[in-house]
Amino acid sequence: MQYRSTGGSSDAIVRPAFFKSGMDSSPLLPAAGAKSRHSIFIYTEEQRGNQLVESLVIGMLSDISGSDKLVVAQDPHSGLKFIYRVDHESSNLDAAAITEHEPDAFNGKTSVQINAMSYRLGTAENAMKLLRGKTQWIQDKGAVLSVLLQNAAARKTRFASARIERDRMRKVPQGVPVEYLPT
């Protein structure tokens, strides 16, 4: 059983998820024919309903010391490229900023300034290594809202303030629909 997405201009396919539940390191695979692209499934709670959405991993950011590493993934509906802090313990991705850099800039050689700090734009392959093989993540909706508001106000790439400590969703509910990227 599969459904066409009704939201936005996307031709993505939505299928009910009759598979493993919880946070598993290999619960889903990208759509057939997508072996060369790097993607993850992000659980979102938003207007389109609670679902797992396949999103392209564009690359990563790393500060000069290598201690601060963030992943960049593109929202398939809005086209926004979110910079996420990775929380392996809770399997959450906390949006930290939005970037307008093109995927070609994530080559391991380009550097950018954000909040007066220099960050190197790393490759999608390195971003996938940072994710430690996990393909399923939970998007913290509070962090996303904070970043969207900050981006609207500042109109330039800036990191949102540090995350607020609160209870987090740690497992994706069983049977949520899965939206794959078009092939």
Q: How far is CA 45 from the centre of its chain?
A: 13
Structural domain count of the chain: 1
- In this prediction the pTM is 0.78
125 in any annotated domain: yes
User: What is the domain extent for residue 98?
Assistant: 38-163
Q: Specify the pairing of strand 69-74 against strand 13-16.
A: unpaired
Residue 145 banded pLDDT, cuts 50, 70, 90: confident
Q: How far apart are the first and last CA of the chain?
A: 18
Assigned token pair, 164:
């607020």
The answer to whether residues 112 and 118 touch, using CB atoms and an 8 Å cutoff, is: yes
Measure Cα distances from 66 to 69, 89, 91, 106, 159 in Å: 7, 20, 21, 16, 17
Q: 68-112: per-residue pLDDT in tens? A: 999 999 999 899 999 999 999 999 999 999 999 999 999 999 999
Q: Is position 104 within any domain?
A: yes
Residue 143, in any domain of the structure:
yes
